[in-house]
Amino acid sequence: MPAHLDALAEATDRGFHDAFGRDCAGVWSAPGRVNLIGEHTDYNEGFVLPFAIGARTSIAARRRDDGVIALASAQFPGKIRTIPLAKVGPRAVPGWAAYPAGVAWALGLAGRGAAAAGASGVSLYINSVVPTGSGLSSSAALECAVALALHDLHGLQATRAELALACQRAENEVVGAPTGIMDQFASLFGEHGSAVFIDCRTVHGENVPLALEAAGLEVVLADTREQHAHAAGGYVDRRASCDRAARILGVRALRDVGVGDLEKASDVLDAETFRRVRHVVTENERVLAAVASLRAGGLESDPAVLGALLTASHASMRDDFEITTPALDLAAATAVEAGAVGARMTGGGFGGAVIALVARERAAEVAASITAAFARAGFTAPRLSTVAPSDGARRDR
């Protein structure tokens, strides 16, 4: 394990002891993710291509037998929140505790017997370095780390796909955010050096090589620091438009609409709904093209192919799906002007971060250009870093 991750696990272990006055039974962690391409396609039963990043949420845990989930966090020192598991249910837990409590609920309710997570209780100490509200899926990192900890502590025998679905259910029902399956799959199935290609209809994930280093490339991340939340507002609204469009078009999901069907769709949909549909349909095509290019070794031989797909994806999110902001648009455009191979917003939108695929020797220049452009525009200074495909959720000690 890299030294900084070992240090995170060590700090989490110690934090548990300080908070609860006894040793934990183990430490688990799960990563955040960026989405390389395939935005707002997951809940339309389409395709996505995210990868797990190095930033992780670490959890120290120990079973308890009083039917309570007890939560302490490095982010809120000195506080322990206790919630009777019997009281956890749809929208019943306010604040961030809804994520871990929701996972316990989803696993307990999944019919795994009275001894399952829900019945017996657990103490959790949470220590996260995944920024929240930046489009990096801090929520999935938290859910997946908790799910794996509960799974191991309670001998649940669930597959990783089942854990991912339980985490999604926690987020949909207990938190109340109608999100898809991408983030949890990326966090549980991530692998060093690979992206995770997910068919969100069959819920099948497959690792696709993303050997950035060998190709002399980096993924620069520009976090605009515009916060967003998906339990309300634009995300919910976009999802509703897609569902309505599928009903009007007479298909189970927008996955079933092809590029060749778009002309007909424009006859029956209002202009705005048609643009939403066009984004989803063309985005699915772009994901498949990106996967084909990566599988054919395109990252090394012709990275411009992937780069152009990223940039086209951003334009589609800006013009058709309308989920970008002026800061996100500026970051993506500046990256490309400064020499990035391609750039796009990543995540649910309405804030968050942009990723840019950049030749290694240009990465610093691209990052500096974005910072300068934000200063000129009077935007909050962005947070610049690089991200690379990393390992998924695991037990650390």
Residues that bind ligand GLA (CB under 6 A): 35, 39-40, 42-43, 137, 179-180, 182-183, 230, 347-348
Cβ at position 85, least distance to ligand GLA in Å: 25
Q: Quick one: 183 or 391, whose CB is closer to ligand GLA?
A: 183
Cβ at position 16, least distance to ligand GLA in Å: 28
210 SS3 class = coil
Catalytic residue among 42, 183, 391, 396: 183
CA 77 vs CA 16, 72, 74, 138: distances in Å: 11, 8, 5, 19
Cβ at position 280, least distance to ligand GLA in Å: 10
Q: Quick one: 127 or 179, whose CB is closer to ligand GLA?
A: 179
Q: Quick one: 62 or 255, whose CB is closer to ligand GLA?
A: 255
- Which among 230, 228, 130 is positioned nearest to 180, based on CA atoms? 230
The contacts of residue 26 (CB under 8 Å, 6+ apart) are: 60, 61, 149, 152, 153, 395, 396, 397
Cα–Cα dist 279/269, whole Å:
14
Cβ atoms of 143 and 167 closer than 8 Å: yes
Label the pairing between strands 47-63 and 122-128.
antiparallel
394 forms beta bridges with 29
Q: What share of the chain is helix, strand, coil (3-state, %, to 5)?
A: 45, 20, 30
Cβ at position 98, least distance to ligand GLA in Å: 15
Cβ at position 45, least distance to ligand GLA in Å: 12
Measured in residues, the chain has a length of: 397
Cα–Cα dist 79/65, whole Å:
21
Cβ at position 21, least distance to ligand GLA in Å: 36
User: Which tokens in the block code for residue 86?
Assistant: 């019997």
Q: Quick one: 120 or 184, whose CB is closer to ligand GLA?
A: 184
Q: Quick one: 8 or 141, whose CB is closer to ligand GLA?
A: 141
183 is catalytic: yes
- N- to C-terminal Cα separation, the chain: 11
Cβ atoms of 88 and 69 closer than 8 Å: yes
- The residues assigned a catalytic role are 183
